[in-house]
Amino acid sequence: MIDIKHKIGVIPFRTKGSQTAILFVTSQTRGRWILPKGKLKSDENHEDGCKREAFEEAGVKGEVLTDFPITTLITKSIKGRIEKSPVTYYPFIVHKQLDEWPEKQKRERHWALIEDVSKVVSREDYLSLINQFIALKPWIAK
């Protein structure tokens, strides 16, 4: 049984030479830079849900690296109070970025080199997640 509070998400990235960039999107309510995430639909597995969220929120298609899940607590402000919920993120190699996508009117997107991530996001939950991604990068790159 799926916990309705648990979400899945992606860390969309591209590597060129020795540089890696991560794609962020804005949140719908506060306009903060976040990573695509959402709830699984009842008939979805993690891989299918991740591909759907990546397309809907960021307009990208690619490959979910299911061998490298990272589960972390992500905070969200809901009606003036802070709530934490577990999100399992998967590295997601972006193969195609589309000009049109379902949430284009609701979100902006921004590529940031790994070394510049702290200039884009300041929240500890996302910085911790990106640091775990960086630690896994030698295995992900294979």
CATH of the domain at 18: 3.90.79.10
On whether residue 1 sits in a domain, the answer given is no
On whether residue 13 sits in a domain, the answer given is yes
Q: Which domain holds residue 16?
A: 7-140
Q: What is this structure's pTM?
A: 0.92
On whether residue 116 sits in a domain, the answer given is yes
Give exposure, 57-79, as e/b (b: 16+ Cβ within 10 Å): bbbbbbebbeebebeeebeeeee
User: Which residues are CB-neighbours of 63 under 8 A, at least 6 positions away?
Assistant: 92, 93, 95
On whether residue 131 sits in a domain, the answer given is yes
Q: Is the pLDDT assigned to residue 4 strictly greater than 60?
A: no
Mean residue pLDDT of the chain comes to 91
On whether residue 29 sits in a domain, the answer given is yes
Report pLDDT for 84.
87
On whether residue 17 sits in a domain, the answer given is yes
More confident residue, 107 or 80: 107
On whether residue 2 sits in a domain, the answer given is no
Counted domains in the chain: 1
Identify any residues that bridge with 74 across adjacent strands, giving them in sequence order: 85
On whether residue 71 sits in a domain, the answer given is yes
User: Which residues are CB-neighbours of 36 under 8 A, at least 6 positions away?
Assistant: 9, 10, 12, 25, 53, 54, 56, 57, 58
Within its chain, how far is the Cα of 70 from the centroid? Answer: 11
CA-CA distance, 25 to 115, in Å (whole number)?
18
